[in-house]
Amino acid sequence: MARSPLLGLPKDVRMETFDEGNFHVFSPARLNSGSVEGIKVRDLDCHMALERYKPWWLRPTFGGRDFALEFETQFLFWRTTDGRCGVAIPLVAGNLRAFFKSKNGKLVLEWTGNTEEFLGGPAALLYTAVGDDPHEVCETAMTDVIQATGYFRPRIAKPEPAFVDYLGWCTWDAFYHDVSAEKLLDGIDSFLERDIPIRYVVLDDGWQTVNPDNKKLLALSPDKAKFPDGLLPVIAEAKMEMGIDFFGVWHTLQGYWNGVDPDGPLGQRYRTLPSADGTRTMIHPDDIGRFFMDFHDRLRRSGVDFVKVDNQSSLEKFVPDPARSVQAMRAYQHALQGSALLHFHGGLIHCMCNSSDVAYHMLGTSLWRNSDDFFPKQPESHQFHIQTNVLNNLWSSAFALPDWDMFQSHHEHGAFHAAARAISGGPVYVSDRPGEQNPDVLRRLCDDHGMLYRCPRPALPAPDCITTNCLVENRILKIVNVCGPHEAHGVIGLFHCRQGDAPVADQWCPGDLPFLNDCDVVAYSFRNGTLARMQEDEIDEPRPITLEPLEFDLVAIAPVWREVVACLGLVDKYNAGGAVQDEEFIEEQDCFQVTLRGSGTAGFFCAAQPREVQVEGQPAAFDYNPITGFLAVPVEASDWGNNEVLVFL
């Protein structure tokens, strides 16, 4: 009989085995208590918790054998003294939402919501699982939760919005609230002048008609002073004359920050409810479907392709009765996602949304902001931002495509942010001020047509970084992902995230990639431009690296074919292997054939100098280093976007 990895649960909490883990089911009498204290993890060595430190956002916190959880915790990972690992996930059940806190070094499981509906039956409020592989434990745990609860769907079962494959621009950090039709178009034009191929735009906060005194929405139409002719002509010009394919606009889940104005036109059209403190006004859950349908239909007819919806986890502050918060969130999410699927083919960015009652109702849409904002004026925020995103991915990537937020390419640490997003697997968009863009940073993210070299799955922390706080420990944050045809290529991001001015010396190895196939590989350092080949039995051998504060390296990992050749991709891009579309060894010609997307420097490993290299059927110049075996081939832009490279050995 399986035993729970948790100690201290009451005897009336029943454990039910489901696939790889266990659900802990609470009796009706226990539900009325509201909490269970004194919970411990069996054989605990260390842990990492995802805490809801702000109403809208999560962050990782770290500890040893005692817990000191300051805020609601929605996901708990631990390692045990015998080298295994485990997870505990508080759940949403009906109108109840559970979470961990701590007291005297032990866990406390609390829940909020309406317990009346469970008076006649039990509720599963907690899931646990243990295993040997950290990534597998997290993935299978969330798969179990999704399958058993039925409230939401996995990421891989939901469509990804088309715009996520392209480079975009958001108006927020460029203009903040002071946006207008003229500034918007001038901003797009500033990218065109610098030959930076952005393909979508997000019109952020500042475009709506609101009551400035109470921050409530007055009308669905835009601010007439800023957009005198409405959105339609602005969007039409951006698309027809400026190469923009997708146009998104911002609004909040409640309409605007404090909801809708009950005394305005919208307050007459839709039923409203005041918050308990009287400062906010929400549309009644029975009317919210009609509101989103009306709003999004108007936006769609103006040319809008997707929406970014903010302030989602604040809904609990709007609901007059806190016990009805989960019920209200369910109604709002079903209405929002249903409208987005109908009007925008699922084009929706969930934002300020990291509470579990949002996550566990994501039935139809997949894109979600994964962390607090990029703060260009807060120097201490940049390392925290990257570490938070990749650790949050352990949880969020099961049900969402994580969005690591916009950044500014011209920022002092713009390349640091760009490199992390390049391998994140999520969308990449900037909030550059017009005229200040850094073309070198932006062009390393995408091809000549603005299509990203995006990894096919969300990035994850290397296993040994999951319980390591790289903000304070003398460790480099290692971010891993796959790319290339059949996901046979990999990338390891190495980021100095420690606060302070000291360098960090650490180690990495190709074996940090848990997805790596058993084969010989080559590794190319973006930072140093160096190449190393490793036999299959050498991939776990540590390799030293030292980085100064906020420095990074990206190591492209490629499989070696026939023990003599490998393609790294376009090595002047952040995610080199993302450019590899296809590769094949042609035996009868003793030739390695590769299809690459975009232009730049194609990098190869060759055991010996090739007889000839061809690009698109024509002989091509190349440089070869006989000591390392590195082969560099310049590849120009082509009309059809791809280049076929043949290396004759």
- For 107, the 3-state DSSP assignment is strand
Sorted by sequence, the CB contacts under 8 Å of residue 567 that are 6+ apart come out as 558, 580, 583, 592, 594, 596, 602, 603, 604, 645
* Residue 172 pLDDT level (bands cut at 50, 70, 90): very high
- For 141, the 3-state DSSP assignment is helix
pLDDT in the model for residue 418 = 98
pLDDT in the model for residue 20 = 84
Q: What's the pLDDT tens digit per position in 305-340?
A: 999 999 999 999 999 998 899 999 999 999 999 999
Please list, residue by residue across 109-127, b when 16 or more beta carbons sit within 10 angstroms of its beta carbon and e when fewer do: bbbbbbbeebeeebbbbbb
* Residue 515 pLDDT level (bands cut at 50, 70, 90): confident
Taking the C-alpha atoms of residue 193 and residue 210, their distance in angstroms, rounded to an integer, is 34
Please list, residue by residue across 602-638, b when 16 or more beta carbons sit within 10 angstroms of its beta carbon and e when fewer do: bbbbbeeebeebbbeeeebebebeeeebbbbbebeeb
Contact 91, 360 (CB under 8 A): yes
φ and ψ at residue 232, rounded to 5 degrees: -55, -50
Q: What's the pLDDT tens digit per position in 75-133?
A: 999 999 999 999 999 999 999 999 999 999 999 999 999 777 655 679 999 999 999 99
- Asked whether the whole model's pTM tops 0.95, one would answer yes
Mean pLDDT, rounded, of the chain: 96
pLDDT in the model for residue 600 = 97
Contact 384, 342 (CB under 8 A): no
pLDDT in the model for residue 120 = 60
Q: What's the pLDDT tens digit per position in 223-265?
A: 999 999 999 999 999 999 999 999 999 999 999 999 999 999 9
pLDDT in the model for residue 2 = 72
Overall average pLDDT of the 519-528 stretch: 96
pLDDT in the model for residue 19 = 86
* Tokens 């603005």 -> residue: 450
pLDDT in the model for residue 259 = 98
437, pLDDT greater than 90: yes
| Pair type for strands 200-203 and 246-252 | parallel
Q: What's the pLDDT tens digit per position in 583-642?
A: 999 999 999 999 999 999 999 999 999 999 999 999 999 999 999 999 999 999 988 889
Higher pLDDT, 516 or 299: 299
DSSP assignment of 352-367: S--SHHHHTT-SS--E
Strand partners, 633: 602
pLDDT in the model for residue 117 = 64
pLDDT in the model for residue 121 = 77
Q: What is the token pair recorded at 26? A: 């609470």
